[in-house]
């Protein structure tokens, strides 16, 4: 609910459990007054302290009042160069070369439904939303800023974006345009980020906010394996089930910066938006620039509740999957089994062995096109390799379909190999600065997706491929970071736009796919989870979580990922042992338990499994098919932290009506004479009692949550168990 008190210029956004408020003060400055547990509509600006601090300057309108300083007041969208020395939200360079923005309030309006951000990913959902638009202006440069707020009340979700318009008569350059600025009046807080590297993404890091700026971000052109565009700020004592925390996600898949600044007043500012590195965006008179969307959830019951609110909102209001509400197919991908070394017969045999166990979709991975027998050549030539696949994709797809399976395909449309016909014909289509050598990554170059003719060419080739066979799934991969960022299509003064225009180009092409092939399920991928962000989820409802398929490492990767993203978005497959990345041998049952906490599938040659392993796989697939709704649409509870030193990792899915639950437990390395362990469950109905795995006995929900359920003694490393709970 949005409440406008226009007389006092106090604007309040309420969700079920939280309140967010701002106020335009007598100097037309838009102050942020409050964000936290739900309170009434009253003017909360009494919370703001005015103090005369040395070296905190005062705007001329404040006259002799030295307690009025932008340096100390909480701002809704921070000014630049006129007295606030913290991180600015906006940096604009008008024709005179200055870099000031002195934003003042001009007006407010409330709109039913959700604002739109053409060309950018955004939460949707029609009537369930309300929008607030607050207009600010920098009078001297005549730059107008519209702050857009979306409120999804029952999910405690508030989204934000800013639309910046040049109302003057000369071109201005944006150097910075953040999506979010959030000032807190309270003091001590922790900053939690999700960091890592290729094959070990989104590991949780929690640090105390110290004086100065702490930040994460990416200048790789993608959101990256290294830092995720999702962070949490929380009370120091906040934990999984208690304390106030603020989660913020940026719906963007390119360069980003997220910073937390602890100030002289010992309060904190969180900022989020495009990374200012090599960002300089020209706005001609009348033109607008729209920032990506940021989404915030405040929880007063710890991280668990915050995650569940994000999960529901992402599932219901961000993801656009074909046949929404239906189970996605259990897939088998041959990549780890064959890499580039396959022919049609081998693929059909792998598919056949998997089909016999109940998998439903075969994914043809890298190596099917051009001259692509290794990763040194072929990218960009999206024509079938007839030697490997005589008769083309149509013939292979028919053989796969004859097994009762659907057919899916891997592509990497943003890339080109130097050794490719495409590169030989159009060397300037790859990013690179004339006169400099180009930097390779996985021996490949990046196509300039900021150029429409490049996108159109690649899209036409893809269309030919997609029209040549019945394809129901695409894995859209992207296997290197951007370097040598320069576009032959833009003049020197506009090269600072290329990073962002690349991402907009990517989004546009994915939107063409949605328009022309609405029935195709798209899985995102960037060397695993190098572009696992809320922006991509708008186009690709699932993302390959990591190239690391080791089940024990996956516990950490999927745990970190779960803080923002629902399990149904996490590509997770059972793979062969010893694992290709770690050499570890984990029991087949455990590999299945871990992969089932994701989109579920197999990344191996099931022909090579023993009879017992095949039986286990068939049972896993049956279990998943029986429990998928509970797993994918139920509420997710983290029971333990795999980064801690506990003897096991556990999590739980609970149906909305709390009648069903699935508990998964993975033990660590075994030790003799382990102590008895009892696992305390969460989210059950305390009034109900539950059968466990079909037992006659019933266990009271309140006892299971408060006293726990005894775990069996493991024999052997990395054992696992699943408990299916059913209320009577
Ligand atoms: C990336 C992906 C893998 C696989 C290979 C193919 O690394 O993450 O799953 O598709 O590319 O080259």
Q: pLDDT tens digit string along 632-673?
A: 999 999 999 999 878 999 999 999 999 999 999 999 999 998
Ligand 1 closest atom vs CA 525:
8
Between CA 547 and CA 200 the distance in angstroms is 8
Q: Do the Cβ atoms of 152 and 15 come closer than 8 Å? A: yes
Handedness of CA 110, 112, 118, 121 (dihedral sign): positive
Check if 293 is active-site.
no
CA–centroid distance, 710 to ligand 1, in Å, is 41
Task: Convert 558-618 into a string of H (helix), E (strand) and C (coil).
Answer: HHHHCCCCCHHHEECEEECCCCCCCCCCCCHHHHHHHHCCCCCEEECCHHHCCHHHHHHHH
CA–centroid distance, 515 to ligand 1, in Å, is 26
Q: Which residue shows structure tokens 């960002």? A: 279
CA–centroid distance, 523 to ligand 1, in Å, is 12
Token pair in block for residue 491: 């003049």
Residue nearest to atom 2 of ligand 1 (CA): 527
CA–centroid distance, 458 to ligand 1, in Å, is 20
Q: Do the Cβ atoms of 165 and 175 come closer than 8 Å? A: no
The residues, any chain, with a CB within 8 Å of residue 485's CB and separated by 6 or more, are 221, 278, 431, 495, 498, 499, 502
Residue nearest to atom 3 of ligand 1 (CA): 527
Q: Which residue shows structure tokens 């050794």? A: 419
Residue to mutate, 364, 366, 476, ligand 1, most ligand atoms under 8 Å from C-beta? 366
* pLDDT < 50 stretches in the chain: none
Token pair in block for residue 389: 């696949």
Residue 191 DSSP one-character state:
E
Between CA 128 and CA 167 the distance in angstroms is 33
Between CA 635 and CA 633 the distance in angstroms is 7
Number of Cβ within 10 Å of residue 720's Cβ equals 21
Three-class secondary structure of residue 7 per DSSP: coil
Q: Do the Cβ atoms of 166 and 90 come closer than 8 Å? A: no
The backbone region for 80, taken as left when phi is positive above 0, alpha when psi lies in -120 to 50, beta otherwise, is beta
Token pair in block for residue 86: 């913290």
Ligand 1 closest atom vs CA 526:
8
- pLDDT recorded at residue 410: 98
CA–centroid distance, 181 to ligand 1, in Å, is 37
Catalytic residue, candidates 183, 336, 613, 660: 613
Residue to mutate, 200, 479, 603, ligand 1, most ligand atoms under 8 Å from C-beta? 479
Token pair in block for residue 396: 């292979």
* Residues with C-beta less than 6 Å from any ligand 1 atom: 335, 365-366, 410, 477, 479, 525, 527-528, 544, 547
Catalytic residue, candidates 365, 533, 547, 633: 533
Nearest C-alpha neighbor of 28 from the set 131, 160, 139? 139
Ligand 1 closest atom vs CA 527:
8
Check if 421 is active-site.
no
What pairs with residue 269 in β-bridges?
A: 183, 261
CA–centroid distance, 396 to ligand 1, in Å, is 21
Residue nearest to atom 11 of ligand 1 (CA): 527
pTM: 0.98
Between CA 200 and CA 559 the distance in angstroms is 12
């Amino acid at each position: 609910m949005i409440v406008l008190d226009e007389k006092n210029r106090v604007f309040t956004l309420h969700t079920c459990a939280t309140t967010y408020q701002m106020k335009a003060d007598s100097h037309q400055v838009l102050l942020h007054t409050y964000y936290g547990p739900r309170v009434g509509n009253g003017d909360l600006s009494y919370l703001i302290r005015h103090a005369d601090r040395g070296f905190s300057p005062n705007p001329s309108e404040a006259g002799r009042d030295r307690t009025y300083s932008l340096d100390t007041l909480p701002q809704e969208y921070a000014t630049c160069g006129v007295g606030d020395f913290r991180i600015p939200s906006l940096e604009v360079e008008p024709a005179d070369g200055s870099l000031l923005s002195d934003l003042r309030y001009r007006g407010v309006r409330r709109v039913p439904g959700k604002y739109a951000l053409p060309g950018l990913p955004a939460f949707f959902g029609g009537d369930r939303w309300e929008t607030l638009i607050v207009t600010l202006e920098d009078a001297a440069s005549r730059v107008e800023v519209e702050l857009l707020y979306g409120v999804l009340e029952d999910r405690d979700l508030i989204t934000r974006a800013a639309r910046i318009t040049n109302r003057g008569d000369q071109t201005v350059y944006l150097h910075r345009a953040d999506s979010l600025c959030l000032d807190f009046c309270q003091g001590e807080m922790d900053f939690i980020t999700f960091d890592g590297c290729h094959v070990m993404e989104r590991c949780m890091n929690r640090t105390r906010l110290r004086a100065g700026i702490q930040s994460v971000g990416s200048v790789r052109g993608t959101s990256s394996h290294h830092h995720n565009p999702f962070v949490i700020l929380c009370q120091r004592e906040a934990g999984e089930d208690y304390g106030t925390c603020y989660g913020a996600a940026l719906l963007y898949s390119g360069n980003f910066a997220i910073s937390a600044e602890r100030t002289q007043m010992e309060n904190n500012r969180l900022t989020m938006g495009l990374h200012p590195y090599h960002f300089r965006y020209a706005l001609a008179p009348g033109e607008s620039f729209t920032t990506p969307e940021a989404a915030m959830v405040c929880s007063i019951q710890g991280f668990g509740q915050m995650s569940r609110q994000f999960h529901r909102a992402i599932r219901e209001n961000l993801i656009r999957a074909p046949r929404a509400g239906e189970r996605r197919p259990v897939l088998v991908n041959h990549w780890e089994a064959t890499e580039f070394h396959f022919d049609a017969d081998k693929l059909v045999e792998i598919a056949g062995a998997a089909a016999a166990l109940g998998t439903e979709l075969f994914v043809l991975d890298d190596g099917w096109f051009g001259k692509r027998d290794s990763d040194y050549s072929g990218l960009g030539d999206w024509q079938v390799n007839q030697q490997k696949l005589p008769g083309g994709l149509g013939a292979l797809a028919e053989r796969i379909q004859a097994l009762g399976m659907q057919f899916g395909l891997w592509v990497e449309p943003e890339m080109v190999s130097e050794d490719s016909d495409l590169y030989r014909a159009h060397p300037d289509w790859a990013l690179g600065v004339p006169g400099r050598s180009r930097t390779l990554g996985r021996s490949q170059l990046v196509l300039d997706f900021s150029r429409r003719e490049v996108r159109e060419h690649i899209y036409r080739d893809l269309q030919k491929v997609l029209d040549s066979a019945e394809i129901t799934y695409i894995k859209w991969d992207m296997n290197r970071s951007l370097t040598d960022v320069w576009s032959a299509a833009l003049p020197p003064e506009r090269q600072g736009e290329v990073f962002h225009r690349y991402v907009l180009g990517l989004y546009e092409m994915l939107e063409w796919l949605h328009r022309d092939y609405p029935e195709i399920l798209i899985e995102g991928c960037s060397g695993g989870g190098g572009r696992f962000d809320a922006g991509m989820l708008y186009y690709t409802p699932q993302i390959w979580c990591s190239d690391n398929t080791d089940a024990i490492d996956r516990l950490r990767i999927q745990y970190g990922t779960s803080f923002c993203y629902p399990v149904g978005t996490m590509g997770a497959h059972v793979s062969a042992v010893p694992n290709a990345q770690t050499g570890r041998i984990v029991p087949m049952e455990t590999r299945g338990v871990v992969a089932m906490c994701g989109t579920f599938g197999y990344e191996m040659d099931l022909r090579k499994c023993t009879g017992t392993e095949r039986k286990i796989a068939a049972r896993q697939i049956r279990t998943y098919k029986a429990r998928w709704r509970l797993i994918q649409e139920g509420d997710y509870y983290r029971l333990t932290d795999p980064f801690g030193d506990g003897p096991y990792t556990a999590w739980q899915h609970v149906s909305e009506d709390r009648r069903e639950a699935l508990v998964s437990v993975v033990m660590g390395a075994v030790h003799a004479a382990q102590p008895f362990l009892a696992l305390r469950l969460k989210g059950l109905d305390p009034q109900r009692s539950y059968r466990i795995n079909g037992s006659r006995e019933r266990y009271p929900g309140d006892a299971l949550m408060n006293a726990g359920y005894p775990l069996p003694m493991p024999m052997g490393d990395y054992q696992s168990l699943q408990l299916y709970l059913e209320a009577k």
